[in-house]
C-alpha cells in the first residue's frame, strides 16, 4: 500500500466500515459492521462467491520453524479462531509420565520431570492414538525414552581446568541424551524419521562426579488446552495491516522530519525536481506508534488506519511440526467444528 493523495474524513462510510482509525488519543471504528442493513445502500450480506473472489492468502516468509503470511478478506473472529486452534487444539506428542529410578542431581525430581515435559518431541502425532486414563501404554499410544547419565572426572583435563564441561564428563545432561526405545513395530514404522527430541542442546540438569540420573520417559498425544507442553507453537499471533494516508504532499525538511516519525523502511524521502518529498513505501513495517500525530505541523496532513480484514499472521512452531503443516491442521480442526455446528442445527430443526 502506498500513500494516497486523498483525504478520508471520519464520516466516510466505507472508511468507517473497512478501516480501524488510529487517532492521537484513541482508536475508533473498532467494531465489525459487516452485516446487512447497517449502512444505507450497501448490501453486506455474506455471499460465498464474493468471499471466494476477495479472500487471499499470501506467504511472505517461510522457514522450518516460522511462517508469516497475509490473510485477506476474513473477519477478525475467524483469524482469532485460527490463532486459538494453533495454540490449543492441534495435537502433538509430549512427555506425560516420568519414571525416576535414580536422581542424585541438584535438580529435584518434580522440577526435573517438569523440565523434561517441556522438551518438544519430533514425532508425527497423526500416527498415534490418544491414550485414555484407564488405558495401558502400547506402541500405538506411547513413545518411550531412556535417560541415563553418570558424571565422572575427565582424565584428559588439565589440573588447572575450571570449565566444568572440560573438567568433567557429562557435567550437563542434555535433551539429546534422551534415547528413543522403540516399542512394538515402532522401529519399522518410523525408520524414515526416527523419533527424537526436536533439539539436542536443551539443558535438562547438571551433574558433578558421583551424581547420576536413571529415568524412563513416556510420551503421549495431547492438546495444548490441557497443558502447554502439548502446544505445537511458541506463539501464534496476528496484527492488522497498517495504512498511512497522506493528504497532499509533505516536502522539504518537513519530509525528513516526517520520515523520522516512523520505523526505518516505512517512509522514504525522494527527490523530485530538486524537492524532497515523503513517500510511504512499506507500511507493514509500521508499529503504529502515533508519533506523527503528536506534531502540530502534520495535523490534517496524515491519517493512520488499519485495514480491518487484512491480517499479518505469524506462526512460530516449537519445531515438532512445520508451520505450514500446522496451519493446514488448524483449518481441518475449524472445518470439523463447523461441521459439528451444522449437524447440531440440522438435528435441532428436524426435532422441531
Provide the b/e sequence for 37-49 (b: ≥16 CB within 10 Å): eeeeeeeeeeeee
Please report the sign of the dihedral spanned by the C-alpha atoms of residue 88, residue 89, residue 92, residue 96.
positive
Nearest to residue 285, comparing CAs of 264, 315, 304, 260?
Answer: 264
Instruction: Give the separation between CA 6 and CA 51, rounded to whole angstroms.
Output: 28
The reported pLDDT for the residue numbered 333 is: 96
Question: Per-residue pLDDT tens for 45-80?
Answer: 888 898 899 999 999 999 999 999 999 999 899 999
Nearest to residue 314, comparing CAs of 61, 44, 56?
Answer: 61
For the cut 80, the answer to whether the pLDDT of residue 209 exceeds it is yes
Query: Quick one: residue 322, left, alpha or beta (phi over 0 = left, psi -120 to 50 = alpha)?
Result: beta
- On whether the CB atoms of residues 86 and 93 are closer than 8 A, the answer is no
Q: What is the DSSP letter of 49?
A: H
CA distances from 253 to 100, 279, 319 (A): 69, 13, 48
For the cut 60, the answer to whether the pLDDT of residue 228 exceeds it is yes
Question: Per-residue pLDDT tens for 115-130?
Answer: 999 999 999 999 999 9
Question: Per-residue pLDDT tens for 229-249?
Answer: 999 999 999 999 999 999 889
Question: Per-residue pLDDT tens for 275-334?
Answer: 999 999 999 999 989 999 999 999 989 999 999 999 999 999 999 999 999 999 999 999
Instruction: Give the separation between CA 144 and CA 134, rounded to whole angstroms.
Output: 18
Q: What is the residue extent of each domain of the chain?
A: 91-230
Which DSSP string do the residues of 280-329 spell out, in sequence order? E--GGG-----GGGG-GGGTTTEEEEEEEEEEEEEEEE-SSS-HHHHHHH
Question: Grid coordinates representing 232?
Answer: 505445537
For the cut 70, the answer to whether the pLDDT of residue 1 exceeds it is no
- On whether the CB atoms of residues 173 and 213 are closer than 8 A, the answer is yes
Q: Which residue has the higher pLDDT, 145 or 350?
A: 145
Q: How confident is the model at residue 17 (pLDDT cuts 50, 70, 90)?
A: confident
The reported pLDDT for the residue numbered 14 is: 67
CA distances from 220 to 112, 131, 223, 334 (A): 18, 7, 10, 23
For 17-31, 117-131, 194-208, which range has the lowest pLDDT when averaged over its residues? Answer: 17-31
Residue count of the chain, please give it.
Answer: 352
Instruction: Give the separation between CA 151 and CA 169, rounded to whole angstroms.
Output: 6
Q: How many CB atoms lie within 10 A of CB 22?
A: 20
Using CB atoms within 10 A of its CB, is residue 248 exposed (0-12), middle (13-18) or buried (19+)?
exposed
What is the pLDDT averaged over residues 4-26?
68
In the chain, what's the furthest Cα-to-Cα distance? 87
Round the CA-based radius of gyration of the chain to a whole number and report it: 28
For the cut 80, the answer to whether the pLDDT of residue 40 exceeds it is no
Which CATH number describes the domain made up of 91-230?
2.170.120.12
Dump strand ranges (E) for the chain.
19-22, 27-28, 56-62, 66-72, 92-103, 121-122, 143-150, 152-153, 168-169, 172-174, 179-180, 196-197, 203-206, 212-222, 233-246, 267-272, 275-280, 302-317
The reported pLDDT for the residue numbered 142 is: 97
The reported pLDDT for the residue numbered 248 is: 87
Amino acid at each position: 500500500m502506498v500513500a494516497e493523495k486523498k483525504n478520508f474524513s471520519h464520516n466516510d462510510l466505507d472508511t468507517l466500515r473497512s478501516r480501524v482509525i488510529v487517532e492521537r488519543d484513541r482508536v475508533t471504528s473498532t467494531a465489525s459492521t459487516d452485516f446487512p442493513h447497517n449502512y444505507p445502500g450497501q448490501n453486506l450480506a455474506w455471499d460465498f462467491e464474493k468471499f471466494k473472489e476477495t479472500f487471499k492468502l499470501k506467504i511472505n516468509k517461510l522457514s522450518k520453524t516460522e511462517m508469516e503470511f497475509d490473510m485477506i478478506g476474513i473477519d477478525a473472529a475467524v483469524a482469532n479462531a485460527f490463532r486459538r486452534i494453533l495454540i490449543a487444539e492441534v495435537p502433538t506428542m509430549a512427555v506425560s509420565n516420568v519414571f525416576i529410578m535414580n536422581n542424585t542431581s541438584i535438580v529435584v525430581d518434580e522440577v526435573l520431570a517438569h523440565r523434561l515435559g517441556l522438551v518438544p518431541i519430533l514425532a508425527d502425532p497423526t500416527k498415534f492414538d490418544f491414550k485414555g486414563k484407564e488405558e495401558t501404554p502400547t506402541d500405538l499410544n506411547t513413545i518411550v525414552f531412556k535417560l541415563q547419565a553418570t558424571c565422572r572426572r575427565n582424565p584428559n583435563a588439565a589440573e588447572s581446568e575450571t570449565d566444568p564441561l572440560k573438567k568433567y564428563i557429562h557435567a550437563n545432561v542434555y535433551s539429546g541424551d534422551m534415547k528413543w526405545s522403540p516399542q512394538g513395530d515402532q522401529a519399522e514404522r518410523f525408520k524414515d524419521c526416527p523419533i527424537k527430541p526436536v533439539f539436542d542442546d536443551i539443558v535438562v540438569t547438571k551433574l558433578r562426579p558421583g551424581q547420576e540420573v536413571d529415568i524412563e520417559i513416556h510420551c503421549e498425544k495431547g492438546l495444548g488446552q490441557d497443558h502447554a507442553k502439548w502446544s505445537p507453537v511458541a506463539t501464534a499471533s496476528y496484527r492488522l495491516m497498517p495504512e498511512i494516508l497522506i493528504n497532499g504532499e509533505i516536502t522539504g525538511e518537513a519530509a525528513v522530519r516526517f520520515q523520522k516519525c516512523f520505523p526505518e523502511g516505512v517512509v522514504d524521502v525522494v527527490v523530485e525536481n530538486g524537492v524532497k518529498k515523503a513517500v510511504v513505501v512499506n507500511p507493514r513495517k509500521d508499529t503504529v506508534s502515533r508519533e506523527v500525530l503528536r506534531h502540530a505541523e502534520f495535523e490534517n496532513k496524515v491519517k493512520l488506519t488499519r485495514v480491518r480484514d487484512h491480517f499479518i499472521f505469524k506462526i512460530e512452531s516449537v519445531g515438532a511440526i512445520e508451520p505450514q503443516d500446522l496451519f493446514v491442521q488448524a483449518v481441518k480442526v475449524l472445518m470439523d467444528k463447523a461441521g459439528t455446528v451444522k449437524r447440531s442445527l440440522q438435528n435441532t430443526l428436524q426435532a422441531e
